[in-house]
Structure 1
Amino acid sequence: MALLGKAALAMWWEIDAAAMGEFAHWHAHEHFPERLGIPGFRRASRWRQAGGGDGVFVMYELDGHEVLSSDAYLSRLNAPTPWSVRMMPLHKGMMRSQCEVLASRGAATAAHALSVRLSPTRADAADALRAALAALIDELPARPGLTGAHLLRHRAPPIAQTTEQKIRGGDRVADWVLVVTGYDAAALRALAEGELSADALAARGGTDFTHALHELAYSAVPVDMG
């Protein structure tokens, strides 16, 4: 098994603790059903920051990158519900990457996840970095404590800034995204401090690293919304 589809939307932001309860209710009971009702949205998953804190990581798995510029999706982004309009300004430091899937093995959801945001050091280093990470992804899911590994690369769709983006004040993007899932948080932590540490990834041709550990809050597919 691997990611459902050939594209993914990966997002990180922070929600103040005082607003987290309403945010979680809105996100689970309005936002997920809305997004999973759009053709091409295959699965939605939300993780919270490991060990507590305000961080949120969300990933939508998509049939293909064209879903991100589809009329059905844009109609939702440009006509947010009143509840969404109230919640969007609470998304602090939004990082939103509209990605194609470069490599994917194993489970996309598990109790724990490690996300790594990075870039190649140079354009001519991209192929070597991709090959090195793809080789690692091939064998990571079989390790004790781990279940899946996925490599994504941002590619902006040819669309104008949406109403939701304007409400949030604009979004930043992560260039490449590596997501590793597992049932053992310690195994993911060891990976972040070892083979996927900043030093190790720099030796493979990467730069601009942001590591984060997450705990699964909720995952659903369209049939769950019925």
Structure 2
Amino acid sequence: MSLLGKAAVAMWWTIRPEQRAEFGDWHSHEHFPERMSIPGFRRGSRWTSTDDADGFFVLYELEQYDVLTSKGYLDRLNAPTLWSTKMMPHHVGMVRSQCRIVASFGGGVATSLATIRLSPESGREAELQAHLAETLAGLAQKPGLTGAHLLLTDTPRTSAPTTEQQIRGRDGAADWIVLLSGYDPDAVDAVIAGQLSPSSLQTAGGREDPMTGRYRLGFTMTSQDVAAA
């Protein structure tokens, strides 16, 4: 999975079982097309957790970082549809990170994904970033894998709670994010148990408490899909 553009919005949350059917309908048929119609949005993907039956990860890939503060995006965030207004309170434990893409290797769209949320030790930021960039560059072409990426959260300074955020309640945020995709979930698991394991990341300059999640692809849409429709 090669990331499209220079910025992204990365989000994790859970949906209660009784809301999952309607969530899938709303998210696929209204919310994704709405987001992909915003200028600068390139691709959206929704992933279902294989660790937590109620968990999801969603990634929006953006052409430029400035899209995060664009009128088109903020207008949508501050004017949710009636259906969105109904569904937003069911996004439980929302973690929403507005990111710069600092390293991205690979191509295509995969079926398996691991996300790693981590933070660097103070004073070791450059060391950890260099290590991750070198490591990820060597992973994307390995058997079973298709992409390896590093995102750094950089919340716009002008960011204020939007109407959607006020409906959901307070959002959390990740710090650094590693994404590893592949067509073989066992190959993905092997890397996050080895080169990207908590102990390996700590040795390279990361804190000792990274959060790893495993996912399978649920749905993906690009801006071209919306234009064609």
Above 0.5 in TM-score?
yes
Structure 1 position 6, deviation (Å):
0.4
Alpha carbons of structure 1 residues 108 and 213: separation in structure 2 relative to 1, 3 Å: farther
Which residue type is aligned with residue 80 of structure 1? P
Q: Which residue of 2 aligns with 1:125?
A: 124
Q: Which residue of 2 aligns with 1:172?
A: 172
Per-residue displacement from partner, 1:151-179 (whole Å, max 9, x unpaired)? Answer: 00000112211011111111000000000
Structure 1 position 68, deviation (Å):
0.6
After superposition, residues 50-69 of structure 1 pair within 5 angstroms as 50=50, 53-69=53-69
Which residue type is aligned with residue 163 of structure 2? T
Q: Which residue of 2 aligns with 1:135?
A: 134
Structure 2 gaps, min length 5: none
For residues 140 and 159 of structure 1, the distance between their equivalents in structure 2, rounded to whole angstroms, comes to: 34
Q: Which residue of 1 aligns with 2:211?
A: 210
Structure 1 position 28, deviation (Å):
0.4
Structure 2 residue 221 is matched with structure 1 residue 220: yes
For residues 54 and 6 of structure 2, the distance between their equivalents in structure 1, rounded to whole angstroms, comes to: 30
Which residue type is aligned with residue 133 of structure 2? A
Structure 1 position 109, deviation (Å):
2.9
For residues 47 and 7 of structure 1, the distance between their equivalents in structure 2, rounded to whole angstroms, comes to: 19
1:196 counterpart SS class: coil
For residues 51 and 171 of structure 1, the distance between their equivalents in structure 2, rounded to whole angstroms, comes to: 22
Q: Which residue of 2 aligns with 1:189?
A: 189
Structure 1 position 80, deviation (Å):
0.4
CA contact 1:108–1:181 (8 Å) conserved in 2:
no
CA RMSD, 1 decimal: 1.2
Structure 1 position 2, deviation (Å):
2.8
Runs of 4+ in 1 over 6 A off after TM superposition: none
Alpha carbons of structure 1 residues 67 and 5: separation in structure 2 relative to 1, 3 Å: same
Per-residue displacement from partner, 1:24-71 (whole Å, max 9, x unpaired)? Answer: 110000000000000000000000011660110000000111101111
For residues 109 and 215 of structure 2, the distance between their equivalents in structure 1, rounded to whole angstroms, comes to: 11
Q: Percent identity?
A: 49
Q: Which residue of 2 aligns with 1:96?
A: 96
For residues 115 and 101 of structure 1, the distance between their equivalents in structure 2, rounded to whole angstroms, comes to: 14
For residues 18 and 142 of structure 2, the distance between their equivalents in structure 1, rounded to whole angstroms, comes to: 38
Per-residue displacement from partner, 1:172-220 (whole Å, max 9, x unpaired)? Answer: 0000000000000111111111111111111111123100000000111
1:161 counterpart SS class: coil
Q: How many residues align?
A: 225
Q: Which residue of 2 aligns with 1:153?
A: 152
Alpha carbons of structure 1 residues 137 and 108: separation in structure 2 relative to 1, 3 Å: farther
Q: Which shifted more, 189-198 or 127-136? A: 189-198
2:130 counterpart SS class: helix
For residues 212 and 118 of structure 2, the distance between their equivalents in structure 1, rounded to whole angstroms, comes to: 9
Structure 1 position 107, deviation (Å):
2.7
2:79 counterpart SS class: coil
Which residue type is aligned with residue 134 of structure 2? A
Structure 1 position 223, deviation (Å):
1.7
Q: Which residue of 1 aligns with 2:107?
A: 107
Alpha carbons of structure 1 residues 168 and 199: separation in structure 2 relative to 1, 3 Å: same
For residues 117 and 159 of structure 1, the distance between their equivalents in structure 2, rounded to whole angstroms, comes to: 22
CA contact 2:2–2:109 (8 Å) conserved in 1:
no
For residues 168 and 107 of structure 1, the distance between their equivalents in structure 2, rounded to whole angstroms, comes to: 34
